Amino acid sequence: MTNSNTRLQVMWNRLLAVVEEQGQALIRAAFSPIVRECGDISAGIFDLRGRMLAQAVTGTPGHINTMAEAVKTLRGRFDLRDMRPGDIYMTNDPWIASGHLNDFLLMMPVFFRGRAVGFTSCTSHLVDLGGLGMGPEGSDIYDEGLLIPPCKLVDGGELNALLMAIVKANSREPVANEGDIYALVACCETGARRLAGMMEEFGIERLDELADFIIDTSYRGTVERIGDLPKGTRTNVLKVDGYERGIELHAALTIEDDCILLDFDGTSGLSAKGINVPLNYATAYSVFALRCIIGPDIPNNAGSLAPFRVVGPKNCILNAQPPAPVAMRHTLGQMTPDLVYGCLSQVLPDQVPAEGASCMYDLPLRHVPEAVARGDTQFALELVFSGGTGARPGLDGLSATAFPSGVWGSQVETTEAVAPVLFERRELKPDSGGAGKMRGGLGQHIELRSSTGEDFMLFLSVERVLNPARGRNGGREGAAGRICIGDDRPDLPGKGEVRVKAGETLVFETPGGGGFGDPRARSRQDVERDLEEELISDEVARETYGFTR
């Protein structure tokens, strides 16, 4: 009874386990803190045509479907007939891999009984690629570091030593980079070995039947869900802070019988700084957000992704073309879920949440430039904090929780153990959750200073300082983010470099999520609980929720 549906399904489950194994192998060996803390990787298995069959469910959506497209691109770039066992291809081209230079993508053909049967691929975030370093200050891609066009990293098992030397010579963290590339190689090889092992075990010679089963099943399931939606086009505009000026993100979401089209037409043009977003990355977050509502139970693969199509005019800020700087593409990329939810909520008003903090509040800290010469403490630390998520139609938003990204927040004790900083406070900020029948999640209030009496540098690229998360259906907006030094000094902009002097306290407030529905409709019990837990003040309870004792 080979290859009955249940047998194909057992193999599908195995493929899903194989990609998870691949992903774990990569995360365990990685050096980049963002990989370890956030699982900022992807790992997947592809058929011979380059169709993605399975992908590890990892921490951040930024890699979802960028890898699916990247493998197709590389597959088209190199001739299958030239590929040999033990070959591995590589690139970090932001427009092919995952939106900025730090993300390296590897692809390896898998051979079984002497014949190519498919590919494994993976992506991971490397710590440093030279240039101006991780930050929005570059004015073109050349400022941002080393770009490696698609090339062969490993030739028949033999690593291209010159290529590795170039990557190391162009980085401030050569050892970590080398370690991360080896981790990627190991990840590809693990996937290839496991895939071949699975084919051996199940006695199959090629992946075609399994691939068709996976892709057809997933495609059908997704299209069924799309078929349930009302047809037509809905539009939304999201105003965001930007760097040098405010930016408008535009979206038109068209639902047809068997597909969904998202068009960014009308979106503002490029920024002079590295907050521009290649389309592959904007697509990743947009489609992730849509798939959270439309068929979230279907695994990510070529079939479930096929019905979603995303376009945007060239050189709008969500379809940046080379040589635009893109290092901090996640700052706006992570805002695209709120953009598409503004469209989708018009179709599914009782399923789509209000806007949230969305952009992760990362806080890269470093010693001041002169510390090296003076022999002062040297350190580099990338702390990540989250704001509140938007209220859901039936539930309050989540306080201090990452969405859409899957980052983990930092712990105070481990941070203080390894870096010269001291936290004075880290608590939820009362009244920061947008009021509503369902309340938005609360942001955080954080205060920190140097623990050694030395100045330190801060590199900001955050959103929602000027444009807080909007509520939905009568829900109110969440509190804006806020960064300042000492409580009495003026607020700082959300992007740029800041020097925090010894003895000064940095105040860092993450945004709250928007509310959902009229606050006056919030149940008395919920308002009482919020009061008891001091999540809202008496004044807000009275004025906004109309609460009387």
Partner 1 sequence: MNIENGLRLAVDIGGTFTDSVLADVQGRIIASTKTPTTPENPALGALEGARRVMSQADADWSKVMSFIHGTTLATNALIERRGAVVATVTTEGFRDILEIANERRYSPYDINLVKPDLIVPRSRAFTIGGRMNAGGHVLRPLDEASVSRLADQITACNAGAVAICLLHAYADATHELRLRELLKALLPDLVISLSHEVSPEAREFDRLSTTIANAYIQPLIAGYLGEFQTRFAREGLTCPILMMTAGGGMSTMETAARLPIRLVESGPAGGAILAARVAAETGAREVLSFDMGGTTAKLCLIDDFRPQTARKFEIARAARFIRGSGMPVRIPVIEMIEIGAGGGSIAHVDRLGRLQVGPESAGSMPGPAAFARGGADPTVTDADVVQGLIEPGRFAEGRLAIDVDAAKSALERVVGAALELGAARAAHGISEIVDGNMANAGRMHAVESGKDLGTRLMIAFGGNGPLHATRVARRAGIERILIPRDPGVGSAVGFLHAPVSYEIVRTRYVTVNAFDLDGLNAFFKEMTAEARAVVRAGAPEAALKQRRLAFMRYRGQGHEVEVALPDRTLKESDIPDLRRSFEKEYSRQFSRTVPDMPIEILNWSLQVSTEPRKPERYPAPTSKRQVRPTGRRSILCDVTGEWCEADVHDRAMLRPGDFLNGPALIIEPQTTTFVSADFSAHLDSAGNIWLVRNPEEKP
Site for partner 1 in 472-511 (CB under 8 A): none
- State the Cα–Cα distance between residues 183 and 175, nearest whole angstrom: 12
Binding of partner 1 by 13 (CB under 8 A): yes
Q: Among the candidate windows 14-22, 135-143, 241-249, 484-492, which touches partner 1 by CB under 8 A?
A: 14-22
Binding of partner 1 by 541 (CB under 8 A): no
- Closest separation between CB of residue 475 and partner 1, Å? 16
If the CB atoms of residues 93 and 396 are measured against partner 1, the closer one turns out to be: 396
- Closest separation between CB of residue 361 and partner 1, Å? 10
Binding of partner 1 by 5 (CB under 8 A): yes
* Measured CA angle at 291 (ends 289, 295), to 5 deg: 150
- Crossing angle of helices 66-77/279-293, nearest 10°? 130
What count of other Cβ atoms lies within 10 Å of the Cβ of residue 86?
A: 15
- Closest separation between CB of residue 12 and partner 1, Å? 8
By CB under 8 A, name the one of 158, 424, 538, 543 that touches partner 1: 424
268 three-state secondary structure: coil
- Closest separation between CB of residue 267 and partner 1, Å? 25
225 three-state secondary structure: helix
- State the Cα–Cα distance between residues 273 and 397, nearest whole angstrom: 32
Binding of partner 1 by 161 (CB under 8 A): no
Residue holding tokens 């149940």?
523
Strand partners, 460: 496
* Measured CA angle at 102 (ends 96, 107), to 5 deg: 50
Binding of partner 1 by 411 (CB under 8 A): yes
Distances (CA, A) of 33 to 80, 123, 389, 470, 541: 35, 15, 24, 32, 41
If the CB atoms of residues 218 and 276 are measured against partner 1, the closer one turns out to be: 218
If the CB atoms of residues 76 and 197 are measured against partner 1, the closer one turns out to be: 197
Residues binding partner 1: number (CB under 8 A): 90
Binding mask 200-239 for partner 1 (x = CB under 8 A): -x-x-------------xx-xx--x---------------
Provide the greatest CA pair distance for the chain. Answer: 78
Strand partners, 47: 118
Binding of partner 1 by 80 (CB under 8 A): no
Three-state SS letters, 44-67: EEEECCCCEEEECCCCCHHHCCHH
Supply φ then ψ for residue 412, to 5 degrees: -60, -45
Segment 116 to 155, residues that bind partner 1, using CB under 8 A: 127
By CB under 8 A, name the one of 91, 334, 432, 444 that touches partner 1: 444
Q: Among the candidate windows 28-36, 83-91, 470-478, 540-548, which touches partner 1 by CB under 8 A?
A: 28-36
- Closest separation between CB of residue 174 and partner 1, Å? 9
By CB under 8 A, name the one of 81, 82, 414, 488 that touches partner 1: 414
Amino acid in the structure at residue 547? F
Segment 375 to 394, residues that bind partner 1, using CB under 8 A: 384-386, 392, 394
Strand partners, 120: 45, 108
Count the alpha carbons within 13 Å of 350 in the hemisphere toward its beta carbon: 1
Binding of partner 1 by 453 (CB under 8 A): no
Binding of partner 1 by 428 (CB under 8 A): yes
Q: Among the candidate windows 65-73, 94-102, 130-138, 421-429, which touches partner 1 by CB under 8 A?
A: 421-429
- State the Cα–Cα distance between residues 38 and 510, nearest whole angstrom: 18
Segment 507 to 536, residues that bind partner 1, using CB under 8 A: 532-535
Binding mask 323-362 for partner 1 (x = CB under 8 A): ----------------------------x-x---------
If the CB atoms of residues 497 and 528 are measured against partner 1, the closer one turns out to be: 528
Binding of partner 1 by 36 (CB under 8 A): yes
Interstrand relation of 103-112 and 444-450 (parallel, antiparallel or unpaired): unpaired
If the CB atoms of residues 297 and 487 are measured against partner 1, the closer one turns out to be: 297
Q: Among the candidate windows 230-238, 318-326, 420-428, 491-499, which touches partner 1 by CB under 8 A?
A: 420-428
In the sheet that 456-461 helps form, which strands lie side by side, from edge to edge?
380-385, 361-367, 456-461, 495-500
Query: Beta strands of 344-473 (E only): which ranges?
Result: 361-367, 380-385, 421-428, 444-450, 456-461
Those residues with Cβ within 8 angstroms of residue 326's Cβ, 6 or more apart along the chain or in another chain: 94, 99, 100, 141, 144, 274, 276, 277, 278, 320
Q: Among the candidate windows 135-143, 295-303, 479-487, 488-496, which touches partner 1 by CB under 8 A?
A: 295-303
- Closest separation between CB of residue 244 and partner 1, Å? 30
- Closest separation between CB of residue 159 and partner 1, Å? 12
Binding of partner 1 by 452 (CB under 8 A): no
